[in-house]
Chains A and B, each alone.
Chain A
């Protein structure tokens, strides 16, 4: 399952990234979105992009284009 397909308010665990550029991968990892971390999709901002997610203990606004590339699994 990817973060895009995940319903809102369901906590899951990040498994890894699929077909992401090295830059995006490194930046997401630097922000704390890395394998093993819990993530919850919270809401879409008014223009539907970016999407607010709770990653670990912090809130991130993540570009919608990245969500299909973030693999997650149920906790």
Chain B
């Protein structure tokens, strides 16, 4: 028999902060059965033994309306049915007790064992509010503790609430929310409202002011931050700072990590005997680890920024500002941060969708975020634009290559909005978006809480998505490395041995031979053969087998496209060989002497890479965030199909009008 403490309450009552304070870092994330709503569970040591703490999704009233609210009530009913020892610990905001007492009063009336943690007691003191915990406890008929989860004040007192054995009351009469009628729930809500009102009136002494000081301060700040002119300017500057932090702050750390791991790989390669083991370690395992590790700085920086904006109270206001503009597309302000993060990398963008409480809206956001132009697309776009958009192209006197690059960003946004519009006609459309949003008071984020928040997000990525990304990297390496055709490789290896033995040494020639070996390896590999096999599939898009192989290998990460093409064109396989690759692509000719690639192929590739979900790490992250393979499979196949169709159309139009 488990001992379960379920944390319940309205969003913004500090429920998650209290959860973190109770469980420390001993928590894990999963999904509630049958849906994508996340369940955070952790353990805490109480004097009665180990207790499992579950952070339930936010609940506004006794009448569940959204999927998240239904999940919370369903969980309580399932616990009541099991033999587990249950206590519902309701979390209420001390300065908003009129509202927040409704849930504990209602759950108590529904027959559940309830205790109450009145949180943010420090803020209530600042507001001049006085609370009589004993009176409140007597009125509600449940134990009450006054706490501040942020500062830790009173949290130790919760131990006394959670430990009296047994926690569990007789739950045989507890209301089964899964079967309760709306009428019964409304009755419960009305009873709870009345009970909450009288309990709050008897136990709370309000200051003799019309507006609480913390609220008055929030209104003063809002008059600046939500000002018709200053508001959008501040929002733009804030988002610019977030975006810059992601690129400028994360890029050096990512580069350093890549360089260190690359150097480590080179060091090992020099010491290990040439062969499959060296290749496995240096071309498979280390790049696989690198593919996971390089995302951590971005995730840490993004969630530091999001955590700061969320805890300071600015995030819901930023959402409110853009809400109106997104509503015609069936979206709202909550998608803003995930979309913005998606410009750096889809992975933190997908993870940022956790701030969205509604399940359907979260899925739509996760589906569309990868359409934002992430940094991994930049090397691909740069290569194709530099190679095939003529320098003489100067629309309105502007640099044409720059215009096309900017156009790719706009293209991604437009596609996301159009697909969002299309989703309004599917079951993913949220019929009843929240008609109002709580704007919490402005608060100074706590460093302790922020570090826990960021650590939890990074650990979540490393532990859950990282393992799969690493394994898939090894699989892709094996597909690109085997089988090795001895008949083809033997003369090349003999040539390499001869070059190495020659005196004086010729590093350029050695590099060239190594490049040819790499090209021969990939050509003969499963991936290479697959590329040839699927060539007819992609031929209508203007791709040959080389581009097909590069696109297949880009499943590991989009930028791998450049490196693979470099390998095929015997440039040594380095992604920084793009200058040589530009020339190689421009000069490449078919057997009949005609140019192998041109602007139409570039158009087709640009469209394909803008839309297709060519990123294994994102696919794995989506799977982890949604709790099943269904959503990523749907997302991959739909975006692939759409990318194929539009690339085909783009190729044909370019052939007709641009050649």
The bracket for how many chain B residues form the interface is: 35 or more
The answer to whether B435 touches A54 (Cβ under 8 A) is: no
- A-B pairs with CB below 8 Å: how many? 111
Most chain B Cβ neighbours within 10 Å, of A21, A27, A30: A30
Q: Are A66 and B61 in contact (CB under 8 A)?
A: no
- How long is the Cα–Cα vector from A47 to B226 in the complex, in angstroms? 10
Query: Which partner residue on chain B sits nearest A47 by CB separation?
Result: B324
Bound together, the chains give a CA A28 to CA B61 distance in angstroms of 10
Which residues in B have their C-beta under 8 angstroms from that of A23? 65, 432
Contact with B along A28-47 (1 / 0, CB 8 A): 11111110010000111111
Whether the pair B323, A60 counts as a contact (CB closer than 8 A) is no
Q: Is A4 an interface residue (CB 8 A)?
A: no
With both chains docked as a complex, state the minimum distance between the C-beta of A50 and any C-beta of chain B, in angstroms.
6
- Binary interface profile of B, 417-452, with partner A (CB < 8 Å = 1, else 0)? 000000000000000101111111100000000000
Q: Are B438 and A31 in contact (CB under 8 A)?
A: yes
| Contact (Cβ within 8 A) B210 A50 | no
A62 contacts partner chain B, Cβ-Cβ < 8 Å: yes
Q: How many residues of A contact B (CB 8 A)?
A: 34
User: Smallest CB-CB separation from B197: which chain A residue?
Assistant: A36
Chain A CB within 8 A of B232 CB: yes
B98 CB–A CB distance under 8 Å? yes
Chain A positions within 8 Å of B317 at CB level: 61
- Inter-chain CA distance A50–B606, complex, in Å, is 38
Is residue B522 within 8 Å, beta carbon to beta carbon, of the partner chain?
no
Contact partners of A26 in chain B: CB under 8 A: 61, 63, 65
Q: Does B472 contact A (CB under 8 A)?
A: no
Residues of A within 8 A of B63 (CB): 26, 30
Which residues of A sit under 8 angstroms from B232, Cβ to Cβ? 46
A11 to B209, CA, bound (A): 13
Bound Cα distance from A56 to B127, whole angstroms: 14
Given contacts A27-B65, A59-B222, contact A49 B323 (CB under 8 A): yes
CB-contact partner of A30 in B60, B222, B323, under 8 A? B60
From B323, B434, B436, B440, name the one whose CB has the most chain A CB atoms within 10 angstroms: B436
- In the assembled complex, B400 has its CB within 8 A of some CB on chain A: no
Cβ-based interface call for B379 (8 A):
no
Given known pairs A57-B215, A62-B436, the reply for A42 and B324 (CB within 8 Å) is no
Given known contacts A46-B228, A52-B226, is B215 in contact with A59 (CB within 8 Å)?
yes
Decide if B321 touches A58 in the complex (CB within 8 Å): no
The answer to whether A59 and B218 touch (CB under 8 A), given A23-B432, A31-B60, A50-B436, is yes
9 shortest interchain CB distances as A-B pairs: A30-B60, A30-B61, A47-B324, A59-B439, A61-B320, A32-B99, A23-B432, A62-B436, A49-B324
